[in-house]
Amino acid sequence: MTISLCMIVKNEEALLARCLDSLKDLMDEIIIVDTGSNDRTKEIAASYTDKVYDYQWTNDFAAARNFSFSKASMEYIYCADADEVLDEENRTRFRDLKKVLLPEIDIVQMKYAGQLTYNTAYNYDEEYRPKLYKRLRGFRFEGPLHETVVTEPVVFDSDIRILHKPHGSHTDRDLKIFRDIYGAPDAPHMPGRLLSMYAKELFISGTDAHFIEAAPIMESILLKEDRSAEDVLTISCVLARAFRIKKDIANFFKYAMKAVVSESCSEICMELGTYYEQAGDLNEAHIWYYNAAFETKPVLNIHYGGDMALSALARVLESAGLTGQAALYRKQAEAWSVPSQ
The whole-number pLDDT of residue 168 equals 66
**Residues 10, 28 contacting (CB under 8 angstroms):** no
Q: What pLDDT does residue 140 have?
A: 80
Domain shared by 113 and 28, yes or no: yes
Mean pLDDT, all residues of the chain: 93
324: enclosing H helix or E strand: helix 323-335
Flag whether 341 is in a domain: no
pTM passes above 0.85 = no
Residues 158 and 178 in one domain: no
Q: Which domain holds residue 84?
A: 3-164
Residue 183 lies in a domain: yes
Q: What's the pLDDT score for residue 115?
A: 60
Q: Which residues contact 291 (CB under 8 A, 6 or more apart)?
A: 264, 266, 269, 273
Q: 275 with 316, same domain?
A: yes
In a domain, 63, yes or no: yes
User: Are 297 and 240 in a shared domain?
Assistant: no
Give the total number of structural domains in the chain: 3
- The CATH number covering residue 130 comes to 3.90.550.10
Give the domain-ending residue among 227, 251, 275.
251
Kindly state whether residues 319 and 276 are assigned to the same domain.
Answer: yes
Residue 117 confidence (pLDDT): 62
Give the pLDDT confidence score for residue 189 in this predicted structure: 92
Dist. CA 120–CA 169, nearest whole Å: 7
Which residues of the chain are modeled with pLDDT < 70?
Answer: 115-125, 146, 168, 340-341
15 in a structural domain: yes
Q: What is the pLDDT of residue 219?
A: 95
